[in-house]
Each structure stands twice: as C-alpha cells, then as structure tokens.
Amino acid sequence: MASPSPSTTHLSPLTCCSSSSLSSHHSSRRTKFEFPANSQRSSPSPIASRAGAIASPSSSTPGAASSGDHAPVRGRCFANPVDRDLSELAAGDRVSRRRRKLIAVAGLAATLPFLLQLRGYTEGIVADAAELDNDEYTMIKEEVRKVVSKVKAAGVLRLVFHDAGTFEMGENSGGMNGSIVYELERPENAGLKKPVKILEKAKGEVDAKRPVSWADMIAVAGAEAVSVCGGPTIPVVLGRLDSMKPDPEGRLPEETLDALGLKQCFQRKGLSTQELVALSGAHTLGSKGFGNPVVFDNSYYKVLLEKPWMSSAGMPSMIGLPSDRALVEDNECLRWIEKYANDQNLFFKDFENAYVKLVNSGARWRSL
Ligand code: HEM
C-alpha cells in the first residue's frame, strides 16, 4: 500500500486567521483589546498623580521644616535634635515606603482595567477555541464512528500505541505525531496498514471540511474504539501537529521483554508501572484470548490471574503474549492486576488517565 498522504496543512482556523480577521470573527463575544497608546502611558493617570500628591514628603509632613527644633514630628517632642533627626529619618523612611506602596497601588489601579480587558480577551479566545475544538471534535468522532466498527476497534487502538509509543523522554523525540504513516513497513507495525487505511477514509472526510492531523485523528479514533466496545468514554484534546518524517526505530517494547524490561521501557516514555499495567489492559481487545475480542472490559486481568498458558495443551496455552504473562510474575504489577481484576471501574478510570497521557506524549501542539 502506498503510504497515506501526511496532512501538510494542519493549521486550524485559529492559526491561519490574521489577528484582524480573528478579532472581527470573535468580536461579538470579546471585549475589544487595545494597548494603551504611548502618550497615555507616559502621562500619569489621574489616580497616579493624585496618589503622588498624597505621597509626596512635603505633603506628608506639613510645616515640619519651619516649626523649630522642638516642633512635633508626628505628634512627638524631642529635647535632643539627634533624636529628632533619627526619628525624622525613620519617619521619612516610613513615608517613602508608604509612598512606594501607594505608587504601586496606584499603578495597579491604573493597569487593572487594562488587565481586565486582557483577561476578557484571553477568556474570549479560550472560549472560542474550546467551541471550535468542540465542533471539530464532534465532526472527527462522527467520521470515525462511520468506519470504526467493533471488529476494527482492536487494530485502531493498537495504532495509537504504535504512534505514541516511540516517545522517549530523555531524547524528547518521537511520540504522538502521526509518524506511524511513514513506519508501516517496520516489522513491529505489521498489520497496521489496515487500520491506517480505515482511518484515511475518515480523515479525508474531515480534511474536506477542516484539515486535521494524523496524530489527532489516531488519538480520537483510539478513544472511540475503546468506547464502541463498551469501555470508558475518553475525551481527547485536539491540536497535535504531525511530524513530516518517521520517528527513530527500536522504541517500541519487544513482546519478549520481561516485567523489568517492560517497566524500564515505559519509564523512558514517562509512564509508570501502574500505567503500564493499565494500558496493557488494551489487550482485552483482539485475538489474544482475553475474553470477548470485541468487548473492552477487565477480563484481561481476570484471565491473567488464572494463568491459562500453564495448561498443558490446547487453546488455553496460546493465550496472551509473553509480555502479558510476564506482568503477572512481577509483584508490583501483580498488585495492579489484582486491583483491576476486582474493580472494573478503577480499571476504566486508570485506563482513561493513562490513555490521555499516552496520546499527549511528545505531542507538539498548534498554537492559539
Ligand atoms: C506492554 C507492551 C506491549 C507489547 C509488547 C505489545 C505487543 C503486542 C503484540 C505483539 C500484539 C499482537 C499483534 C498481532 O496480532 O499480530 C499486540 C496486539 C495488540 N496491542 Fe499491544 N503491546 C503492548 C502494549 C500495548 C498498548 C499500551 C496498547 C494500547 C494502549 C496495545 C494495544 C494492542 C491491541 C488493541 C492489540 C490487538 C490488535 C488486534 O488484535 O488487531 N498494546 N500487542
């Protein structure tokens, strides 16, 4: 199969709009935002100049210079001029501190309307972005639902891991960037051309209305695959950018790794042992023998605890990958396997969180 065309224009209307068109587009729901003109900035605001007058030393110690040695300074008399000087110094210091405070308050008061405008403006952008994302999200989900049936769900979910799983924290490279479309000839990606082909159709439909990245497409499709099979509903944030080249090779875990190897591999991707165990629950889908192949539930963990592969012959001995079997031999993993086997809601919750982390790994985001 020819490599699917990577999306070359992933700029959403958010990034492609000029600031003027953006502001007119959003003007109905946003306070108009203007920087104060230079002339306005250089002349003190009425508040600031009034505060300056209040805070000036002459106005704060009226008559002090002409009232003689024994003149009261803030209500006190001094026989010794040195005492008075020191006290005046201290008073002056208090005044200047007070003055600094007043100026700061006045400055804040002067900038407050500006800051509020700015807040109104940014809130407007965020609200509009969320609205845009919502429309975009609904559209992507609708197109995905048309092509991802229960029987196709397993392949689509696996695609997510094979795109995101190339992330290495230390190198800060790889991750959820759609590069899987360039990596389909790699042995570890055997079988993934089909799910890419399926999603390509949906992507074409979405692209016709608003360009979407492969990374977003795959992230949303994986979540829908889980949900269509009865798993949790996982909300996915949009805005990932696609890479234009394949990620480095050899980053995905070999199925022959033992538990320590799997833990270390996931750790390099910023994923904990608990997240390794939760995400491996994805193997409940597909043909590895963990319950109904098209139902996303916690049967993966229940079957792991039974260790059917210990059976001397027949189908049960075929169940699970070596990596699945390795998990149950590790005490730390076993604790999570037991928890998830006993509590499907906990598995769903932890799977959701780990999935969100996975699809955000190494992602580069379009800017607002
Ligand atoms: C822990 C390390 C993992 C290893 C070593 C591993 C390896 C494998 C292998 C060898 C297969 C069989 C492919 C085939 O049938 O030819 C498989 C299937 C699958 N993997 Fe993983 N995987 C791992 C983690 C994950 C994760 C984190 C996910 C998703 C979150 C995932 C999702 C799937 C799915 C859904 C299938 C079934 C695909 C199908 O039947 O079409 N895997 N995996």
Question: In three state form, how does the secondary structure of 96-123 look?
Answer: HHHHHHHHHHHHHHHHHHHHHHHHHHHH
The Å distance, Cα 159 to ligand 1 centre, comes to: 9
Which ligand 1 atom minimizes the distance to the CA of 165? 27
Strand partners, 334: none
The answer, yes or no, to whether any atom of ligand 1 lies below 6 A from the CB of 212, is: no
The identity of residue 342, as a single letter, is: N
The answer, yes or no, to whether any atom of ligand 1 lies below 6 A from the CB of 147, is: no
The whole-angstrom separation of Cα 346 and Cα 245 is 38
The tokens describing 155, both together, are 């392949």
Which ligand 1 atom minimizes the distance to the CA of 287? 40
The answer, yes or no, to whether any atom of ligand 1 lies below 6 A from the CB of 154, is: yes
The residue whose CB lies within 8 Å of the most ligand 1 atoms, and thus the one to mutate among 158, 274, 296, 321, is 158
Task: Determine the pLDDT at residue 107.
Answer: 52
Please give the model's pTM, rounded to 2 decimal places: 0.71
- Nearest CA to 100 out of 151, 62, 60 is that of 60
Cβ neighbours for 60, distance < 8 A, ≥ 6 positions apart: 54, 95, 98, 99
Residue 50 falls in which region: left (phi positive, over 0), alpha (psi -120 to 50) or beta = alpha
Encode the chain (368 residues) as per-residue pLDDT tens digits: 444 544 433 333 223 222 333 233 333 332 232 222 222 233 333 223 223 322 333 333 333 333 333 333 333 333 343 333 333 333 344 434 544 554 454 555 555 555 555 555 555 555 555 566 788 999 999 999 999 999 999 999 999 999 999 999 999 999 999 999 999 999 999 999 999 999 999 999 999 999 999 999 999 999 999 999 999 999 999 999 999 999 999 999 999 999 999 999 999 999 999 999 999 999 999 999 999 999 999 999 999 999 999 987 778 889 999 999 999 999 999 999 999 999 999 999 999 999 999 999 999 999 86
The answer, yes or no, to whether any atom of ligand 1 lies below 6 A from the CB of 262, is: yes
Catalytically active residues, by annotation: 162
Residue 84 φ then ψ, to 5°: -65, -45
The answer, yes or no, to whether any atom of ligand 1 lies below 6 A from the CB of 289, is: no
Around Cβ 2, how many Cβ atoms within 10 Å?
Answer: 4
Q: Whose CA is nearest to atom 41 of ligand 1?
A: 155
Question: Alpha-carbon torsion 50, 51, 56, 61, what sign?
Answer: positive
Task: Determine the pLDDT at residue 316.
Answer: 83
Task: Determine the pLDDT at residue 240.
Answer: 97
The Å distance, Cα 283 to ligand 1 centre, comes to: 6
| Residues 218 and 159 sit within 8 Å (Cβ to Cβ) | yes
The identity of residue 230, as a single letter, is: G
- Name the H helices within 148-238: 150-164, 193-209, 214-228
Query: What is the four-CA torsion angle of 261, 265, 271, 274, rounded to 10 degrees?
Result: -20
Q: Count, in order, helices (H) and strands (E) of the chain.
A: 15, 0
| Residues 71 and 63 sit within 8 Å (Cβ to Cβ) | yes
- Nearest CA to 64 out of 85, 80, 93, 94 is that of 85
| Residues 10 and 366 sit within 8 Å (Cβ to Cβ) | yes
Around Cβ 262, how many Cβ atoms within 10 Å?
Answer: 23
Cβ neighbours for 190, distance < 8 A, ≥ 6 positions apart: none
- Nearest CA to 362 out of 157, 158, 189, 179 is that of 179
- Nearest CA to 324 out of 302, 352, 353, 292 is that of 302
Residue 281: how many CA atoms within 13 Å on its side-chain side?
37
For the chain, how many residues are written? Answer: 368
The answer, yes or no, to whether any atom of ligand 1 lies below 6 A from the CB of 280, is: yes
| Residues 344 and 220 sit within 8 Å (Cβ to Cβ) | no
Residue in the structure block whose two tokens are 């405008």? 117
- Name the H helices within 56-80: 57-60
The whole-angstrom separation of Cα 207 and Cα 146 is 15
The whole-angstrom separation of Cα 108 and Cα 98 is 15
The residue whose CB lies within 8 Å of the most ligand 1 atoms, and thus the one to mutate among 151, 260, 283, 359, is 283
**Alpha carbon of 93 to those of 85, 88, 90, 170, 260: distances in Å?**
12, 8, 5, 53, 65
The answer, yes or no, to whether any atom of ligand 1 lies below 6 A from the CB of 264, is: no
The Å distance, Cα 235 to ligand 1 centre, comes to: 22
| Residues 162 and 252 sit within 8 Å (Cβ to Cβ) | yes
Residue in the structure block whose two tokens are 């932890």? 350
